[in-house]
């Protein structure tokens, strides 16, 4: 069962804000003055697994910059959550619609990986943006990357087989978890691919028989990252190239230091 909407995740001392800011690749890539200006309004929080940060259509109350955890973006159909269409980890932010003046959340945001994040109130974020055209321009580039990811997900769902799509999403989750082992429930697997559980089970068993993954009791372990990348569709590689081209290679370098990854942020 989902946890209630967050009213205030566990806070850390404000003295940790500046250090934590560099753990988010989007913040770390900002010019120093713009980063300090934004961080002055941020507070460190802890995201908990299964926490709902917002529902589709809700008014955005906070913007989140994950510095360790990661967030699943889920699209609803007929009022029910049906399909995961994106992930937000240390490469990005939650609340990008504020960049174009829209205060409503376009998707449900559910914490898939527990961990630290920096949080800023939506009103403060909008005020900082108005004062800093440089900051707005930098974050708009990330908005474009996220839009491309969502469009790519639509094509991937339509044209690629379940096993390749599962391999891709496992790699994306691993990159954002910065670990080859992470929690992954049947509910998230259903959101991830938008198919019946029997299809997910069949695809997961195939990857396990090839000794690419191990899945037991909600724990997923990537055993062979390079093999899993070969089993995935080309969308994983394309997504990594898109991020690097528009936002720089620094994120890829930092991710490699933290994970045994082949290519981050697909």
| Window from 6-20, 79-93, 133-147 with minimum mean pLDDT | 6-20
Average pLDDT, the chain: 82
Backbone angles phi, psi at 84, to 5 degrees: -80, 125
Whether 102 contacts 91, CB under 8 Å: no
- Identify which has the larger pLDDT, 226 or 82: 226
Q: 15 falls in which pLDDT band (50, 70, 90)?
A: low
Domain architecture of the chain: domains with CATH: 10-133 (2.60.120.10), 160-258 (1.10.10.10)
Q: 16 falls in which pLDDT band (50, 70, 90)?
A: low
What share of the chain in percent tops pLDDT 70? 80
Q: What is the dihedral of CA 217, 224, 197, 47, to 10 degrees?
A: 60
* pTM metric for this prediction: 0.81
| pLDDT digit string, tens, across residues 78-123 | 766 678 888 899 989 999 999 999 999 999 999 999 999 999 999 9
| pLDDT digit string, tens, across residues 197-209 | 778 888 989 999 9
Residues whose CB falls within 8 Å of the CB of residue 92, separated by 6 or more in sequence, listed in order: 25, 26, 65, 66, 142, 145, 146
Residues whose CB falls within 8 Å of the CB of residue 39, separated by 6 or more in sequence, listed in order: 17, 18, 21, 27, 118
**Separation in Å, CA 160 to CA 229, 231, 233:** 14, 12, 7
pLDDT at residue 10 tops 60? no
């Amino acid at each position: 069962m989902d946890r209630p909407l967050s009213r205030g995740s566990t806070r850390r001392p404000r003295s940790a804000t500046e250090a934590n800011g560099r753990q988010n690749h989007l913040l770390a890539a900002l010019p120093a003055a713009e980063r300090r200006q934004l961080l002055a309004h941020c507070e460190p929080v802890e995201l908990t697994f299964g926490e709902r940060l917002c529902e589709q259509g809700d008014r955005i109350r906070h913007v989140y910059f994950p510095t360790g955890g990661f967030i699943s973006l889920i699209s609803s159909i007929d009022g029910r959550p049906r399909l995961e269409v994106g992930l937000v980890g240390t490469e990005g932010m939650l609340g990008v619609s504020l960049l174009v003046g829209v205060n409503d959340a376009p998707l449900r945001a559910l914490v898939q990986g527990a961990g630290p994040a920096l949080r800023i109130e939506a009103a403060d974020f909008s005020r900082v943006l108005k004062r800093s055209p440089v900051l707005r321009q930098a974050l708009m580039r990330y908005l474009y990357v996220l839009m491309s990811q969502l469009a790519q997900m639509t094509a991937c769902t339509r044209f690629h087989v379940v096993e390749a799509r599962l391999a891709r999403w496992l790699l994306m989750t691993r990159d954002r978890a910065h670990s080859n082992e992470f929690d992954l429930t049947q509910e998230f697997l259903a959101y991830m691919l938008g198919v019946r559980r029997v299809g997910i089970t069949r695809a997961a068993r195939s990857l396990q028989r090839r000794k690419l993954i191990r899945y037991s009791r909600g724990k997923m372990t990537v055993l062979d990252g390079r093999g899993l990348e070969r089993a995935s569709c080309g969308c994983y590689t394309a997504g990594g190239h898109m991020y690097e081209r528009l936002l720089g290679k620094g994120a890829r370098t930092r991710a490699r230091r933290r994970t045994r990854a082949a290519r981050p942020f697909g």
